[in-house]
Each structure stands twice: as structure tokens, then as C-alpha cells.
Amino acid sequence: MGTVAATLGLVQRYPYHTITASLFILVVKALFFRKRASSLPLPPGPKGYPLVGNIFDIPTDKPWLVYNEWAKIYGDMIYFKVLGQPFLVLHTLERTYDIFEKRSSNYSDRARMPMILELMNWDYNIAMLPYGTWWRRHRRAFHEHFHPGVVAKYQPVQSREARAFLYRLLVSPENFRHHIRHAFAATIMSVAYGITVRESNDPYILNAEEALEGLSEAGVPGRFLVDLIPVLKYVPEWFPGANFKRKAARWRKVTADVAQKPFCHVKEQMAKGTAVPSLAATLIESLPDASDPRRREEEKIAQDTAAVAYVGGADTTVSAVQSFFLAMAMYPEVQKKAQAEIDQVIGSSRLPEFSDRPSLPYINALVKESMRWQLVTPLAVGHMCSKDDEYNGYFIPKGTIVIGNAWAILHDPTVFSNPLEYQPERYLKHGQLDPDARNPDVAAFGFGRRICAGRYMSDNSLYAFVSSVLAVYDIKPPIDDDGNPLQLKAEVTTGLLS
Ligand code: HEM
């Protein structure tokens, strides 16, 4: 879900000016301190300081690894507070299932983000909407076009873009990372709007990238004081120190363009009778009449649905494909087995099709392992607890941001032997997919009612790219000055999207 998730619920160290101001708020809040609604203890976690809580303990670099270490001390539920904001990190599948699935009505909300949602107008992003009717209407509209029964209709575009990607790799293999990004942007623009993007400097893509950069900056909790003191959103732009308002104004414009420009383009094409089939065109066709009072809201939902396909899909699957390239360069024996399967099942006279997928168990296992090995969203996206709760002998206060440590769940050595190794074989038994092997989907796409709504489309894209690339290319590590292959090591970036 790409940057769809921004950095919701991801904890980072706060700048010191933010701390000072927040202290003030906390003192005020403390004056109205609410007595705890339960006599049960809070879940265990690192002991923090008065008022600021665990601000100095919070990991900035790959927090999923640090929480994994903390779990050895505190167990599979870790509770801590940062500037009054409670967090709960869940470490095992049992806990994420109990909380996000069994108690989903209480654990499906999102943290309030005034900078992003109220000032930058990212409110079209389903992933950020508060839990409730408006989110549910968006989710339903999105699901209608991305559930497992319908995503097959996007396969021709996915295959076409996978093939165009093969050609670009042939021309300039050194730019493979750029080509991956371009391929996914092109796929989604085509699916969502029927737009064919330019090879470089495409205005839609440039605009979206700028909006996503703003999102990524504003998504760091504490980056903007207005997230801690929402009333600051009313400060006028000219006011000294109100730089955040000027930034928000610029980002608001590009963010709005991401959703509106391509959608308006489709409307114009439809009016002229020249529109090509697309998600936006289908959504527009099924809108109520212009005179219908429901039209305004329905049109907004349609516009948001198409836009979120782009912002949700632009970066995420890209990251999974990058992991796949790294894995192939590091594990040549895996690559050989995958190529042998393609050669045996398909031969060398054509490229793999979607219809071949059931006959390619090793490739399917490789797609799964590419989602597990280096997770795209190692902490998924935090869910906010809507009301006070009691669970397993502990009290969980309303407003707690609950994070499922997807990395820990998919690197549990009791479930995945040698979890740091890339081994597609772990999903196979007697040469076929083993139904009893833990499927990375249990955590790689998040949890419960907010689980990634684009995961079926993403899975198809990954299959199309992986199988096409392996059918025609060998992926190898770069060569050093003496002509020897470089020793590669998996090093991932930190952040919500790894
Ligand atoms: C490897 C690929 C992807 C990964 C790892 C991924 C991951 C995620 C995660 C972790 C969430 C939040 C789940 C939660 O709150 O528990 C999410 C939400 C979402 N994703 Fe994805 N995503 C991927 C691809 C896509 C694609 C291709 C699309 C669009 C076509 C998409 C659309 C969405 C949407 C709409 C949501 C919001 C769901 C909601 O809040 O109700 N994602 N994704």
C-alpha cells in the first residue's frame, strides 16, 4: 500500500523543540488527569520517564529488530508511552489474531494526523481514514474492484508492463531500479485511468512523487507540532513560525492534483467519447445522475478509489521486486531451480502467462519468500484502539496505537528455520505448495479489517515480474575491479516502507 500508509503509528525520536512544547501540553493534560478505568496492570514494557515516557528509548533505525529484542525481555506484548501517547507492540501471530481479528471492531481505527489529513488533504487515502462509515464506503468501493474474483481483469496490463520492463532491462540493465518503479507506476496509471505514462518526466508521476515525498516527511510523528497541538492548524500562514502552514499549502496543492487531474482527464475523455477502459471510467459510469443528491459524495469516493490505487501501489510492490532481485543475486542456486522449472513447464519459446501459474509451484514459493524475507512493511501500519479494553489480564487504554511486528511473525525461528535465509523450499512439500506452511500473507500485508486492500493485485504483479524476468535473464552480483563478483549483503532502509 505504498506510501498509502505514510508513517502511521511508526515511532521515531522527536526533535527537542517538539519535546519542550509537548511537555507544556502534557502538564496541562495532567491537570485533568483521568483515573484509569481498570484495576488491571498495563502490559509490560520498558520503564519510561515521567511525562516524556520512553522518548529516549524509541528506536529510529529498524525498530522492528529492536522490538524483537525487547520481546525477549518483556514478552509478546510490549507497552510503552511517548509524550503521553500509548503504544502496544504485538510480537506473535496469536496476539495479532486475538487483537486485530477477534476484536477488530475495537482495533481498526487510525491515529489522528492533523498535518496530513486536515492540512495536506490526504483524506482521500483510505489507509489513513478514521474507522467509521466514510472509511467503510471507501473500502467497499475499493474492494469491489480489487477482490480476488476481479483482479484477473488487470492481468493483461500487468503482463504487458512486465514485458516492457524486460525490454528496458535489455537496453539499460544498470537502471533496473528506475525501471522497476516506472513499470509499477505505468501499470497502475493504466489500470486506474487508462493513461499511458511517458518514458521519463511524466507529469502525473512527477506530481505523485512530490506528494509522496511530502507525505513521507509529514508522516514522521512529531515532525510537525500541529500533530501534537491540533489547534495550531488555525494559525494563519503569515504568522511567524507558521512555516508548517506554508509547506502544507504547497503539499495540499500537489496532493489534490494527484487525485483530481487524472480523474478529470478521464471525465473529459468520456465526454468526448474517446476514453479507454479503466477503473476510473467504470466508477464514473456507475455514478448516480448529476441531479441526484448523492452524486457529490459518490463522485468523491470514486475519485479517491482510483487515486488510492496509485498511491497504495506505487512504492510497495516495487520494494518486493527489489528484494527479489537482491535474493536472486545472493542465492544463485535458487535462481537456477526457478529457471529449471520454467524451462521444464513452459520451454524457451514463449514467456510465462498467468495461466501457467498453477503449474509453477517453485515460482509461487519464490513469490511468497520474496514477501517474507525482507518485508516491505515490517511493522505494517498501526491501528488505534477505539475504547478501553482488557485483554489477557492487561488493561489497554483507549487511544493506544497497536502495532503488529510483522517482521517478528515472519522471522520466528520456531516457524521458519534459518529465517534470515531466502529459501522458497520452506513452502513446498513433495514438490507442491505445502498448505501447512505459514503463508507470509498472515502479516506481510497488515492485519484485520484494515489489511491491505490491494494485496491480490500486488501478488499478480509480483508473479508477472518474477516469472518473466527469470524466463529470460540471469541476475548476478556486480563485478569488482578484478572481475570477481561482489559479496552482497541484505541491507534494508528503515521507515514504514523498508
Ligand atoms: C507488496 C505490496 C504491498 C504491501 C506490502 C502493502 C502493505 C499494506 C499495509 C501494511 C497496509 C496497512 C494494513 C493495516 O493497517 O493493518 C496496507 C493498506 C492498504 N493498501 Fe497495501 N500493500 C501493498 C500493495 C498495495 C497495492 C498494489 C495497492 C493498490 C492497488 C494497495 C492498497 C492499499 C489500500 C487501499 C490500503 C488501505 C486499507 C485500509 O486502511 O482499509 N496496497 N497495505
Choose the residue to mutate in 3, 4, 158, 374 for probing ligand 1, maximizing ligand atoms within 8 Å of C-beta.
4
At 390, list the grid cell: 482488557
* Residue 374 CA to ligand 1 centre (angstroms): 16
Q: Whose CA is nearest to atom 23 of ligand 1?
A: 1
At 413, list the grid cell: 525461528
d(CA 163, CA 258): 27
Taking only the tens of pLDDT, the chain with its 498 residues reads 544 443 343 444 344 444 445 555 554 555 445 556 778 999 999 998 888 888 888 887 889 999 999 999 999 999 999 888 899 999 999 999 999 999 999 999 998 888 988 999 888 899 999 999 999 999 999 999 999 999 999 999 999 999 999 999 999 999 998 999 899 999 999 999 999 999 888 898 888 888 888 887 787 666 788 887 889 999 998 988 888 999 999 999 999 999 999 999 999 999 999 999 999 999 999 999 989 999 999 999 999 999 998 888 778 888 999 999 999 999 999 999 999 999 999 999 999 999 999 999 999 999 999 999 999 999 999 999 999 999 999 999 999 999 999 999 999 999 999 999 999 999 999 999 999 999 999 999 999 999 999 999 999 999 999 999 999 999 999 999 999 999 999 888 776 677
At 406, list the grid cell: 510483522
Look at residue 46 in the predicted model and tell me its pLDDT. 94
Facing residues of 479 across strands? 485
d(CA 198, CA 482): 39
Judged by DSSP in three states, 86 sits in: strand
Range list of H helices, 373-451:
406-409
Query: Cβ < 6 Å from ligand 1: which residues?
Result: 1, 4-5, 126-127, 139, 142, 146, 308-309, 312-313, 316-317, 320, 376-377, 380-381, 383, 444-447, 450-454, 457-458
* Residue 384 CA to ligand 1 centre (angstroms): 17
At 190, list the grid cell: 493504466
Range list of H helices, 172-278:
176-193, 203-218, 243-272
State how far the alpha carbon of 450 is from the alpha carbons of 87, 99, 234, 415, in Å.
Answer: 18, 13, 31, 25
Judged by DSSP in three states, 77 sits in: strand
At 141, list the grid cell: 468501493
Quick one: which of 367, 369, 364 has its CA closest to 433?
364
* Residue 458 CA to ligand 1 centre (angstroms): 9
* Residue 376 CA to ligand 1 centre (angstroms): 10
* Residue 445 CA to ligand 1 centre (angstroms): 6
Quick one: which of 331, 316, 403 has its CA closest to 369?
331
Quick one: which of 438, 443, 446 has its CA closest to 414?
438
d(CA 321, CA 181): 10
264 annotated as a binding-site residue: no
Residues 6+ apart with CB under 8 A from 271: none
Write down the ipTM of this complex.
0.99
